Chain A
Amino acid sequence: MSTSTRGLLRLRILLRPRGTRAQLVVALLCGLLGFALVTQVHNSTSATSRRTARPEDLVRILDDLSSRSDRLRAEIDTLRATRDRLASGQDSGSAALAETQRRATVLGILAGTIPASGPGITITVRDPQSTVRADALLGAVEELRDAGAEALQLSGVGGPAVRLVASTALLDAPGGGVLAGSTRLRPPYRLLAIGDPATLRAAMRIPGGVVDTVAASPGADATITVSNATSVAALQALPRPRYARPAGAS
């Protein structure tokens, strides 16, 4: 038999229970040991051992805690500085963002890429005999711009409403009606303009102005309505310039 099997056999013999008094005493002591072991483990892992610890242990613990507290304080300072830096950066960033958004809105309204609403006027041109020519409408548009109109829209029969921007051309369509950009519209026309209603209305009604010019065409007339909630919803696509570049940019 090898040493190991002999040893295991002996262990098995050893572990066989016997009812002698000595065995009981041994058992008692083992039980006491197990009890004390668990108690001590539980005691050392709880935090109540400070009261009866030795002075040098307490000094050591105090030193550890002091150095830890110093380290944590330094960390707090670093983090505070980082937070302040980020907060100030964030503020300037958000201010710049708000400014950029405002500019984008303004440019969008002018370029016709976003819908606009506000006080303004609506000019309705009735033209049952299709005698009103495009230059009369163009004159109206220019007059309105002169009077401070910020967003303009022309609608009629036979096509969607057209947002009138700087690059929109108004021509006579062959066969009647007008050609606004690439949209053909037939009368009656409705020209919406957002701006100061009183100024716009006055501009339309100057002697020899738009209202008189339209009235000079046989059968046609122009009426103006003022509204505080004129809504210009037609949009104009924004073409990228192919030749023009911002001056000064590389």
Chain B
Amino acid sequence: MIGAAALVLGVVLGLIIQPTVPAGLEPYLPIAVVAALDALFGGLRAALDRAFDDKVFVVSFVANVLVAALIVFLGDQLGVGGQLTTAVVVVLGIRIFANAAAIRRHLFGA
């Protein structure tokens, strides 16, 4: 509950403040957001499976974000930045879909 409220609060703060992204962070922010979303959905699914562990959630959140940013950075250095970003986004998208399907099955039984 607090998590949902905090999410909404974060959205509202972002709309009010509307900060500009520092130039160094710019290519990594979108991928970090997608990775964080994947962690969020994973946490939600775990909670519905009654297997939620706070530590696991925090670690997975942070690890996802860091690993995704690292992969993007590595790709840029190697010169395959675009393709690697695509690959990361695809994988995260698949995981998000899988988690969302599990959540849906829990909530609506279908």
Interface residues of chain A, those whose CB is within 8 Å of chain B, are 2-4, 7-8, 10-11, 14-18, 20, 22-40, 42-44, 48-49, 51-52, 54, 56-57
Known A30-B4, A30-B40; contact A43-B10, beta-carbon cutoff 8 A: no
A42 touches B18 (CB 8 A): yes
Asked if B36 contacts A33 (CB within 8 A), the reply is yes
Once the chains are docked, how many angstroms separate the CA of A140 from the CA of B7?
A: 107
Q: How long is the Cα–Cα vector from A14 to B51 in the complex, in angstroms?
A: 12
Least Cβ distance of B10 to chain A in Å?
A: 3
Knowing A7-B108, A11-B48 touch, does A25 contact B33 (C-beta < 8 A)? no
User: Which B residue's beta carbon lies closest to that of A23?
Assistant: B2
**A36-B29, A37-B33 are known contacts; what are 7 more A-B pairs with Cβ within 8 Å?**
A25-B58, A26-B6, A34-B8, A36-B33, A42-B14, A43-B29, A48-B20
Q: CB within 8 A of B54: which of A25, A34, A52, A56?
A: A25
Given A11-B107, A16-B1, A23-B2, answer yes or no on A34-B26 (Cβ-Cβ < 8 Å): no
Q: Which of A27, A40, A49, A56 is in CB contact (< 8 Å) with B5?
A: A27
Q: Assess whether B106 is in contact with A7, with CB atoms less than 8 Å apart.
A: yes
Nearest 5 pairs of A and B residues by beta carbon: A34-B10, A38-B14, A22-B54, A3-B109, A4-B109
Contacts of B109 in A (CB 8 A): 2-4, 7
Give chain A residues whose Cβ lies under 8 Å from the Cβ of B37.
33, 37
21 A/B residue pairs, CB under 8 Å, sorted by A: A3-B106, A3-B109, A4-B109, A4-B110, A8-B107, A11-B48, A11-B106, A22-B54, A23-B2, A23-B54, A26-B54, A27-B3, A30-B6, A31-B7, A34-B10, A34-B13, A36-B36, A39-B18, A49-B26, A52-B26, A54-B82
> Interface size of B by Cβ–Cβ distance < 8 Å?
48
B43 in the interface (beta carbon within 8 A): yes
B21 touches A10 (CB 8 A): no
Cβ-defined contact, B19 with A39, below 8 A? yes
Given A26-B54, A39-B19, residue A4 in contact with residue B107 (CB < 8 A): yes
Question: From residue 1 to 57 of chain B, which have CB atoms closer than 8 A to chain A?
Answer: 1-15, 18-21, 23, 26-27, 29-30, 32-33, 36-37, 40, 43, 47-48, 50, 52, 54-55, 57
